[in-house]
Structure 1
Amino acid sequence: MTTTLARIRAAFDDAGVTGWLHVLDIDSGTQVAAGADQPVITASVHKLCLLVTLHEQAAAGRLDLTEQVECPTAGRTAGPTGLSAMLDPVRMSLRDLAYLMMAVSDNTAADLLLARVGLDAVNATTARLGLGRTHATLTFGELMETVRQDAGPAGAQALTDPYVLTRLRALDPARTNHSTPRDMTRLLRAVWRDEACTAEHGAAIRRLLGLQVWPHRLASGFPFDDVHVAGKTGSLPTVRNEVGVVEYPDGGRYAIAVFTRAASTAATLPPADAVIGTAARIAVDALRAP
């Protein structure tokens, strides 16, 4: 295991990031941990907690996933995908909002769901599942507003300045939505073992995680047609995260959480994206070794 951790740390170093990782064999409980209890910024990874809460409430009969929601053009949460980028009024179901939230990380869809279930309910769900170091304090709109305020009058251009980044509340786990890699693999394990929700709703959650469109992080480490990868990314300036589950054809199932901070402020940094898959693959290979 010492060699495995050295390889993971070397991969992070080569990619120019600081990384924290936890990989858990869902069935045996064996694990690889590299800073697994470090408080980390979840960013859009926290949408998984919201999704589980949504399905928990549906299973309890407190909401109907086919319930229709109006989304006018005014007041949408900033973001480059989904409803956040659309120009016309939209009406859709809660479950279709959940699809957009998970597949393309739509911030507006996430905040419409948060308006329905509430932040307190999300935190109650994570507490019920034993995720003692996972907490949400902001909606996604509020999170983006802190970035806008902290960046100052120069706007997005200021986010390439390392000094400006030091004052972003969104990059401080103590002042934004946060978790640990170990908490996130615990959540994934509960979803895959139908312990977070009923079997019907667990299957629905797993389906949505499998529909994420981004292959450049976790999935890049497992380029095999017979290996299934399901996950959720999270991104902020210098932050690139992904949590997910990799399933092998022999039945092996591995919950993975990788959180990174890059030294570079570049918005496009392919090595920092790819190392998430590389580090996860090193850990999974170690768990699968005879």
Structure 2
Amino acid sequence: MAAQMVASKVKRQALWIACLLLLLAATAWGWLYWQQRQIAQLQFLLQLEETQRTTVVTGPEYDKLRQRIRKEMAESGIDYALFLEDLENGNQFAIEPDKNFQAASAIKVPLVLFLYALALDKRLDLDETMTLTSSDLAPSSGGLWSYLPGRQYTLRQLAKHVIEDSDNTAANMLMRRVGRSNFYLFLRLAGARTVPAGPGKGNVTCARDMALYLKGIWVFRQLNPGFGEEIFQYLLHSKIDNRIPAGVPDDIKVANKIGSQIGFFHDAAIVLLPNRPYVLAILCHHPSETEANAAIARISRIIYEFQQSQPKAAQVIFSGVSVTDGREKKDI
């Protein structure tokens, strides 16, 4: 009898534990679903999705562009990828657009995009202050890592440091504020093909995604000129201009963000060519930063000359519908 009572008690306890675990799992799933819905409904993401509903066309001129770039890079020994989007007509061109590269600081662009998307929907205030902690400190070209913990910065100030100075400490503070898992979810919902796995697990990106993030800034300027222009100005005042900007004339404005770490050198930019603005992302893997920088500048020059030579767009793009001039459709 005693044994039966003990067995019955054990069964009840096991059933209670199973029910508790099921309840916890359901609660966790419900919270994750709610979190995803909250981020998915951001105005910025909804607007960005609308801009992606276009039919893209290319033609023989893009084949010639591809041949010219490959000829230019044939003997460089550089592993590279690029993605171009004409912001006037939506045409896209790419070489190895989905190849993964170490992202380095290029990933800071969507971090600031996410911050401003949250601010646009009043999920946070850009004038909110954060206090620097010892866990935030990380050496970089920016200067925040040299300060003692305890200093305070607004989110807007941190965003400026992240883009203009590529400050790792400021990036760590923003990541702490928005949440790393939320940030990665934002990337997925934005349409990124490659999402980092986390610190030390592969901070990767691809040319297609970097072009998407820069296009996102262009979209943000249309959605909310005030916030969008702030991010755009950060990029215009970024400190490094020896990559994509080096390939265009000095009188053409270039809003860009680089990424650099050992063996990986990238740049992604909005080039304000009059009447033919475009987004360009170039990612390189090579031991020499000097050679990679020069290669990016050469590709940038070729792209600029191509864009400048293009006639007035004969394509009218509506949401989800494209009326073209009969050129061939291609997947890239």
TM-score using structure 2 length: 0.69
Q: CA–CA distance in 2 between the matches of 1:79 and 1:187? A: 22
User: Which residue of structure 2 aligns with residue 88 of structure 1?
Assistant: 148
Give the counterpart of 1:211 among 214, 225, 237.
237
Q: Cα deviations across residues 43-77 of structure 1 (Å, max 9, x unaligned)?
A: 11110110110001111111111111111456512
Inter-CA distance 32–287: structure 2 relative to 1 (3 Å threshold): farther
Match of 1:237 among 262, 266, 269: 262
**Partner Cα separation in structure 2 for residue 251 and residue 229 of structure 1:** 14
Q: How far apart are residue 283 of structure 1 and its match?
A: 2.0
CA offset at residue 285 of structure 1? 2.0
| Greater CA drift, 108-117 or 216-225 | 216-225
Partner of 1:76: 137
Q: Does 2:130 align with 1:57?
A: no
Of structures 1 and 2, the one scoring higher in RCO (CA 8 A, sep 6+) is 1
Residue ranges of structure 1 left out of the alignment (5+ in a row): 147-174
After TM superposition, the structure 1 stretch with the greater mean CA deviation from structure 2, 13-22 or 93-102, is 13-22
Equivalent pairs counted in the alignment come to: 248
Contact 1:24 1:254 in 2 (8 A): yes
Deviations 1:219-242 (A, max 9, x none): 1111322x1101111111110011
Which of 276, 280, 290 is the aligned partner of 2:296?
Answer: 276
- Would the alpha carbon gap of residues 56 and 75 (structure 1) be closer, same or farther in structure 2, given more than 3 Å must change? closer
Quote the Cα distance in structure 2 between the aligned partners of 1:59 and 1:136: 25
Q: C-alpha separation between the residues in 2 aligned to 1:276 and 1:41?
A: 16
Q: Say if 1:6 and 1:212 are closer, same or farther in 2 by CA, change over 3 A.
A: same
Where do residues 55-134 of structure 1 align in structure 2 (5 Å cutoff)? Answer: 55-72=116-133, 76-84=137-145, 86-89=146-149, 90-131=151-192, 133-134=193-194
Q: How does 1:1-290 map to 2 (within 5 A)?
A: 1-72=62-133, 76-84=137-145, 86-89=146-149, 90-131=151-192, 133-138=193-198, 142=199, 146=200, 175-194=201-220, 198-225=224-251, 227-248=252-273, 250-262=274-286, 264=287, 266=288, 269-290=289-310
Cα gap change, 1:109 to 1:197, in 2 (>3 Å):
farther
**Amino acid paired to 1:46:** I
Instruction: Sort the Cα spacing of 1:197 and 1:176 in 2 relative to 1 into closer, same or farther, 3 A.
Output: farther
DSSP-derived class of the 1:193 partner:
helix
1:84-130 C-alpha deviation (Å, 9 max, x unpaired): 2x243432111111111111111110000000001122222222322
Gap runs ≥5 in structure 2: 1-61, 311-332
Moved over 3 A (4+): 10-16, 72-75, 195-199
Deviations 1:167-189 (A, max 9, x none): xxxxxxxx412232122222322
- Structure 1 pair 123/73, CA: closer, same or farther in 2 (3 Å)? closer
Mark the structure with the bigger radius of gyration: 2
